[in-house]
């Protein structure tokens, strides 16, 4: 499976347009990153959302979220911390 996906700190990244899903869908939680603004083709504002994969209702799936002016690497580091804590 790892051959088919870009990986970051042991979890897969799946991107479509300005949205990135981070984590395994089989796990209880994944992270959804939305790129809200870009400057010079680089993310400058993102929204990071921790979602439960165990509920069918998307509105109840949101566990926590934040919106921040930062780049994609900082957003991925935040996502990794949230995912690691949620999966312990």
User: For the segment 56-80, what is each residue's pLDDT rounded down to a tens digit?
Assistant: 887 788 989 999 999 999 999 999 9
**Residue 19 counted as domain residue:** yes
For residue 76, is it within any domain?
A: yes
β-pairing verdict for 29-39 and 11-16: unpaired
What is the C-alpha R_g of the chain?
A: 13
Task: Phi first, then psi: give them for residue 6, nearest 5 degrees.
Answer: -70, 135
- Confirm whether 14 is domain-assigned: yes
For 40, the token pair is 């010079």
Within-domain flag for 73: yes
Domain count across the chain: 1
Residue with tokens 């165990």: 54
In eight-state DSSP terms, residue 71 is -
pTM attached to this predicted model: 0.87
Torsion of CA 82, 58, 66, 79, to 10 degrees: 30
pLDDT at 40 (0 to 100): 92
Supply the pLDDT for residue 3: 65
Range of the domain at 15: 6-86
Q: Does residue 60 belong to any structural domain of this protein?
A: yes
Q: Is residue 1, in this structure, part of any structural domain at all? A: no
């Amino acid at each position: 499976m790892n051959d088919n996906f870009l990986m970051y700190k042991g979890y897969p990244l799946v991107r479509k347009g300005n949205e990135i899903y981070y984590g395994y869908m089989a796990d209880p939680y994944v992270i959804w990153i939305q790129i809200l603004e870009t400057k010079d083709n680089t993310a400058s504002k993102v929204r990071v959302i921790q979602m439960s994969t165990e509920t069918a209702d998307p509105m109840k799936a949101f566990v926590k979220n934040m919106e921040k002016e930062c780049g994609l690497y900082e957003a991925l580091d935040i996502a990794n911390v949230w995912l690691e804590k949620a999966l312990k």
